């Protein structure tokens, strides 16, 4: 190969308009040529002057690229005799890098772990709109047009244009002290929790709270009582922690504790934890009765088990007043870890939630948090603390409560006009969605999964209730309750009629 | 008990100045009295009129509290005969809630899991200042005064005062597409990575990256090669995933692959993963040679193992050019997961980092991310994307590189004047800290742990090198290298002399 021919042969070529500096372009092309074997070990490179001339660039550009390749060991310089491709590059690597031409030399990439394969295979109900535009009937989606982003953007700017040094440095592993104090105040006042700010851990949402609690409180193989149907987001963290799920039915008073005791006896081992949403069971909306709450706490005390209380949308209650949280009933018992999130009350991409842990778990949770994730991201925390402390949060919740109550009524009214014979809806005193049962007539034609797919084809999100069952899609034994989740919080009243009409058409 | 006496006896009393509404105060006090047994099951309450008179509040306040307690089942109303404390409250709960007076009835709170106890027992080197004020010599702390917070605050305000709807709704589980594109561009141009935006996963930092990769790629018991000494933040996620650490020595060319092969032969099992920091080994600062990089890739290919490449401070290189990343050398091999973080380059509380995964792992990582944490918090992501795309990031890195280089020189000069006979410092072509070896004379008097404690007593952070050893504090066999980490990036040149003088006094 003539030295002059090396440039076209290796298809070297520089683009002055590209973002990458010229020397870096040349470096990359030469390195690629060496790794792919087009420039072989021991081969001599043309002089920098010659290369510069061929490439139409300055000699400094060429020297910059060659210096880098020399420093990295791809090239060797012999004083007075030019620059050569290194012979110490292991040949097998060069061969392996020839690409598709030599596939026999390629070993397959390593495999995921067994845990990883199971994690990767978890599916979630289609709760989010696919196109990303429509809001009917996405469960748990708040009304984003109603959120005071002007205030929010102003608060962010206020804290970050001239942050105090403590804000920019490493933070407390449990979160911004101002935010934890604001959360503790709120929970004490509104939810009757027994909580001091140091018991509050800021998380990226309920899921991360479950993830932290599961890894700290459970060992592989430990049994965990779960509501069935229930919040699907629990499953990843519990699976990753190696827990054994014990799905239990939910009746009109909440999780069936008696079924759990029976399952424990059958399996010869008490569960180590129960995960419940007593304020407003997800997705059914049942409120756990006081008697059932006390029964659950009594079981936990006997069994030495933990209770994870997910209080995910306790803010939106339209009638009556919420029952006291399990955490408050257990005060002093040290058995309840309480989970909350701002994603549904404010906006989903905020990703701020919190854990309230018993006093005895504060130090272990601090150590584990620091060991696993250092501390939560600071950007939104001071703004959220001010949003709560300055009253914007309470005002927003009040406004949204009135708005969502009106939307639930609009959904019920439209359903009464349009969905007769298809879906059965009942009012709910709380929440952001209703469970619409398939009528026997519709259930004779469609499963809820099929009904949900028809809605999706019409641009409507209406996840099937069966997707929240623990054994996803399984319909062995008694036929499972067939229904659709209809989120109404993000659907303006004026659009409700049209959206419900679309659903009726899709199901007819 | 006379009905009139119930108010003082139960120490009921309302505070009109308190934040909590009056009815809520009364509710809480009555509930507490019932749970504590001061109001027994079946006991009749005074009339609402009487209570209101005694408490000096309106009858509506009393009715609000009683309604709530009736709804929750603490009270029962019998038509025409007043309101009674419910008799269905399980007695054992009431007894248990009597508090310290009846300790024999209290069962102990449940225990942490075995994994939880090990996580909670992990300790970290004292890398952060305790008082929170001083910056000398905190390793990895950037100069916060030099960060353009005015730009940053403005960008945050720009995106969040009027966010497009897509920003506020649930985001992509891998992170904001604009930020992932900006990161991919940056890594291709500056670090010669082979990367498309869809391979980039936004994380809350390197630790979360390790946490995700370990749970997806490893199973309990899998062996993992680690640099010793090395980044302590790895240990929590690896421990939580059940991995078995295989600590390996680091020589002048980086991780000793030959030692790893010997360990694998000895233990009869190949490691499943190696975690390395080849650009600038943490904490020693060694650059892994090209030959060693190829040797490591060759081993991974033979063993079917993964490589986690932690490129934690590759931005701050003062001489020479960085070697190409392992990720780029492996292109197409699908064996390298690349980790980076913005916390050291921008500011620590930002908590944004990234993973670059091979194309074959994109789908499994998406599923696992969604199953474990939904998606990363959106607040800072669009601002960071704009910060990079609009050139602020590159300009900041350039300025910091010059600043930190001058600070390293100032540290070396001050050390030459003041630390003779105590510590040995050598220049480093990269990074934000130097490892200062204890001289034999000092080592005869103090361990590095003791030297670090003396520095801490003088208000200086100087973590002991031995704290980065895998067997923390263990000094069996050959005595380990004794040194202190001295971070210089956050110490202004004008303060360096005084800080070094303080260190010299502390060690003398």
Residue A61: how many CB atoms within 10 A of its CB?
Answer: 22
Contact assessment for residue B30 and residue B63, using Cβ atoms and an 8 Å cutoff:
no
Tokens 């929440």, residue? A431
Phi-psi region of B419 (alpha: psi -120 to 50; beta: other; left: phi over 0): alpha
> What pLDDT is stored for residue A36 in this prediction?
64
Tell me how many degrees the CA angle B288-B292-B293 measures, rounded to the nearest 5.
75
Which among B5, B427, B293 is positioned nearest to A72, based on CA atoms? B293
Using an 8 Å CB-CB cutoff, list chain B residues near A304.
Answer: 107-108, 110-111
Tokens of A312: 């995910």
Query: Which among A71, A217, A350 has CB closest to B113?
Result: A217
Establish if B119 touches chain A: CB-CB under 8 angstroms.
Answer: yes
Do residue B110 and residue A170 have CB atoms under 8 angstroms apart? no
Chain A residues with CB-CB distance to B386 below 8 A: none
Cβ–Cβ contact B18 with A under 8 A: no
Compare all CA atoms of chain A with the CA of B238 and give the residue at the minimum distance.
Answer: A372
Q: What share of chain A is helix, strand, coil (3-state, %, to 5)?
A: 45, 15, 40
Q: Do B291 and A332 touch (CB under 8 A)?
A: no
C-beta separation of A169 from B141 below 8 A? yes
Query: Do residue A208 and residue B377 have CB atoms under 8 angstroms apart?
Result: no
Residue B323 CA to residue B317 CA, distance in Å, equals: 11
pLDDT, tens digit, 9 for 90 and up, residues B372-426: 988 889 999 999 999 999 999 999 999 999 999 999 999 999 999 999 999 999 9
Picking from B92, B136, B371 by the largest number of A CB atoms within 10 A of its own CB, the best residue to mutate is B371
Q: Are B146 and B399 in contact (CB under 8 A)?
A: yes
Percent of chain B beyond pLDDT 70?
A: 89
Q: What's the count of helices (H) and strands (E) in chain B, helices before strands?
A: 20, 14
Contact B116 A215 (CB under 8 A): yes
Q: Strand, coil or helix: what is A76?
A: strand
Nearest CA in chain A to B237: A372
Element (H, E) at B117: helix B114-121
Does residue A212 contact residue A365 with C-beta atoms inside 8 Å?
A: yes
Residue A78 touches chain B, beta carbons under 8 Å: no
Q: Do B332 and A379 touch (CB under 8 A)?
A: no
Among B90, B112, B156, whose Cβ lies nearest the Cβ of A217? B112
The sign of the CA dihedral B344, B348, B351, B352 is negative
The answer to whether B191 touches B197, Cβ cutoff 8 Å, is no
> Min CA distance, A80 vs chain B (Å)?
23
What tokens appear for A494 in the block? 């004026």
Q: Look at B377 and A375 and tell me if their CB atoms are within 8 Å.
A: no
Contact A216 B113 (CB under 8 A): yes
- Report yes or no: A211 at the B interface, CB cutoff 8 Å: yes
pLDDT of residue A97: 35
Decide if B144 contacts A169 (C-beta within 8 A): yes
**What's the token pair of residue A412?**
């019920």
Residues of A in contact with B92 (CB under 8 A): 298
Model confidence at B184: pLDDT above 70? yes
Whether a cis peptide bond, with omega within 30° of 0, leads into B105 is no
CA pair distance B427, B446, nearest whole angstrom: 24
DSSP string for residues in B22-66: HHHHHHHHHHHHHHTTSS-TTPBPPPHHHHHHHHTS-HHHHHHHH
Tokens 């060694």 correspond to B286
A120 vs B216: CB contact, 8 Å cut-off? yes
d(CA B85, CA B95): 15
Asked if the Cβ–Cβ distance from B217 to A113 is below 8 Å, we say yes
Peptide bond into B137 cis (omega under 30): yes
Question: B-chain residues within 8 Å CB-CB of A161?
Answer: 149-150, 152-154, 157
- In the structure encoding, which two tokens stand for residue B180, read together? 């992932």
Element holding A245 (H helix, E strand): strand A244-251
Rounded to an integer, what distance in angstroms lies between the CA atom of residue B291 and that of residue A72?
9
Option in A116, A162, A320 nearest B149 (CB): A162
* Angle separating helix axes B206-217 and B362-373, nearest 10 degrees: 110
Find the CB nearest B93 among A109, A242, A294. A294
CB contact at 8 A, B39 and B30: yes
- Residue given tokens 């609690």 in the structure block: A213
Q: Please tell me the distance from the alpha carbon of residue A346 to that of residue B375, in angstroms, as a whole number.
A: 16
CB-CB: which of A149, A160, A211 is closest to B152?
A160
Among the partner-chain residues B31, B132, B207, the one whose CB lies closest to the CB of A324 is B31
* 3-class state of residue B271 by DSSP: coil
Task: Give the model's pLDDT for residue B441.
Answer: 96
Instruction: Please list the pLDDT of chain A residue by residue as tens digits (508 residues).
Output: 444 455 555 667 788 877 677 888 888 888 777 776 677 777 788 888 888 887 888 888 888 888 777 766 778 876 567 888 877 664 333 333 333 332 333 677 888 999 999 999 987 777 776 555 689 999 999 999 999 999 999 999 999 999 988 888 888 999 999 999 999 998 988 877 889 999 999 999 999 999 999 999 999 999 999 999 999 999 999 999 999 999 999 999 999 999 999 999 999 999 999 999 999 999 999 999 999 999 999 999 999 999 999 998 778 888 876 788 899 888 678 999 999 999 999 999 999 999 999 999 999 999 999 999 888 999 999 999 999 999 999 999 999 999 999 999 999 999 999 999 999 999 999 999 999 999 999 999 999 999 999 999 999 999 999 999 986 444 444 568 999 999 999 999 999 999 999 999 999 9
Question: Under an 8 A CB cutoff, do A379 and B170 touch?
Answer: no
Helix (H) or strand (E) holding A273: strand A273-276
Cross-chain residue pair B72–A305, CB shorter than 8 Å: no
In 3D, which of B35, B10, B26 has the Cα closest to residue B89? B35
d(CA A269, CA A266): 8
Q: Which residues are paired to B354 by β-bridges? A: B202, B340
Task: Determine the Cα angle at A66 with ends A64 and A72, to 5°.
Answer: 105
Q: How many A-B residue pairs are in contact by the CB < 8 A criterion?
A: 366
**Phi/psi zone of residue A47: left (φ > 0), alpha (ψ -120 to 50 degrees), beta?**
beta
Q: Tell me the nearest-neighbour CA distance from B501 into chain A, angstroms.
A: 25
Cα end-to-end distance, chain B, whole Å:
75
Kindly report the average pLDDT of chain B as a whole number: 87
Burial (CB < 10 A; 0-12, 13-18, 19+), residue B438, is buried
Cβ-in-10-Å burial (0-12, 13-18, 19+) of B494 comes to: exposed
State phi, psi for B82 to the nearest 5 degrees: 90, -165
What pLDDT is attached to residue B103?
32
CB pair distance less than 8 Å for B72 and A295: no
- Whether chain B has a CB inside 8 Å of the CB on A118: the answer is no
Q: Is A378 on the interface with B (CB under 8 A)?
A: yes
CB-nearest partner of A360 from B109, B207, B351:
B109
CA dist B261 to A111, B255, B300, Å?
20, 12, 11
Model pLDDT, residue A5: 52
| Cross-chain residue pair A373–B156, CB shorter than 8 Å | no
Dihedral, CA of residue A54, residue A58, residue A59 and residue A61, to nearest 10:
-100
Is B351 within 8 Å of A99 when comparing Cβ atoms? no
Which alpha helices (DSSP H) does A339-470 contain, by range?
362-373, 381-389, 392-418, 440-445, 448-457
> Residue B468 gets which letter from DSSP?
G
Which segments within A322-369 are labelled E, that is strand? 336-341, 353-356
Contacts of A295 in chain B (CB under 8 A): 90
| pLDDT given at position A156 | 96
Rounded Cα–Cα distance for residues A441 and A328 (Å): 45
A398 — contact with chain B (CB < 8 Å)? no
pTM: 0.82
Q: How far does A230 lie from chain B, in Å, by closest CA?
A: 15
pLDDT tens, B293-345? 999 999 999 999 999 999 987 789 888 777 888 998 886 789 999 999 999 99
d(CA B469, CA B463): 12
Phi-psi region of B130 (alpha: psi -120 to 50; beta: other; left: phi over 0): alpha
């Amino acid at each position: 190969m003539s030295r002059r021919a090396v440039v076209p042969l290796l298809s070297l070529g520089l683009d002055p308009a590209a973002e990458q500096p010229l020397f870096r372009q040349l470096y990359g092309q030469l390195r690629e040529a060496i790794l792919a074997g087009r420039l072989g070990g021991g081969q001599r490179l043309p002089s920098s002057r010659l290369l510069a001339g061929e490439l139409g660039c300055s000699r400094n550009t060429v020297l910059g690229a060659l210096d880098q390749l020399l420093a990295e060991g791809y090239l060797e310089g012999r004083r007075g005799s030019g620059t050569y491709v290194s012979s110490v590059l292991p040949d097998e690597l060069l061969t392996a890098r020839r690409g598709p031409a030599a596939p026999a030399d390629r070993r397959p990439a390593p495999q995921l772990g067994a845990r990883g394969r199971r994690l990767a295979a978890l599916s979630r109900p289609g709760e989010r709109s696919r196109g990303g535009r429509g809001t009917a009937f996405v469960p748990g989606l708040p009304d984003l047009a109603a959120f005071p982003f002007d205030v929010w953007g102003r608060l962010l700017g206020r804290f970050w244009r001239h942050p105090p040094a403590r804000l920019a440095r490493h933070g407390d592993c449990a979160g911004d002290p101002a935010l934890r104090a604001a959360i503790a105040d709120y929970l004490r006042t509104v939810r009757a929790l027994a909580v001091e700010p140091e018991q509050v851990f800021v998380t990226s949402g309920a899921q991360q709270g479950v993830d932290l609690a599961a890894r700290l409180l459970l060992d592989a193989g430990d049994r965990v009582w779960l509501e069935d149907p229930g919040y699907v987001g629990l499953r990843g963290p519990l699976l990753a922690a190696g827990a054994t799920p014990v799905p239990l039915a939910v009746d009109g008073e909440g999780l069936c504790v008696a079924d759990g005791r029976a399952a424990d006896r059958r399996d010869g081992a008490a569960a180590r934890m129960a995960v419940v949403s007593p304020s407003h069971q997800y997705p059914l909306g049942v409120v756990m009765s006081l008697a059932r709450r006390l029964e659950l706490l009594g079981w936990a005390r006997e069994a030495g088990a933990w209770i994870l209380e997910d209080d995910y949308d306790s803010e939106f209650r339209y009638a009556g007043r919420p029952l006291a949280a399990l955490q408050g009933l257990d005060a002093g018992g040290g058995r309840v870890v309480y989970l909350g999130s701002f994603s549904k009350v404010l906006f989903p991409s905020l990703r701020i939630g919190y854990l309230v842990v018993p006093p005895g778990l504060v130090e272990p949770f601090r150590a584990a948090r620091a060991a696993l994730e250092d501390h939560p991201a600071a950007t939104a925390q001071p703004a959220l603390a001010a949003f709560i402390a300055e009253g914007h949060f309470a005002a927003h919740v009040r406004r949204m409560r009135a708005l969502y109550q009106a939307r639930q009524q609009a959904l019920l009214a439209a359903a009464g006009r349009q969905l007769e014979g298809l879906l059965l809806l009942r009012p709910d005193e709380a929440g952001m969605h209703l469970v619409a049962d398939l009528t026997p007539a519709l259930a004779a034609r469609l499963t809820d999964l099929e009904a949900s797919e028809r809605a999706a084809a019409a641009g409507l999100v209406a996840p099937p209730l069966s997707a929240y069952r623990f054994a996803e899609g399984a319909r062995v034994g008694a036929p499972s309750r067939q229904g659709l989740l209809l989120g109404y919080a993000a659907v303006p009243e004026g659009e409700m009629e049209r959206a419900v009409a679309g659903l009726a058409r899709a199901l007819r």
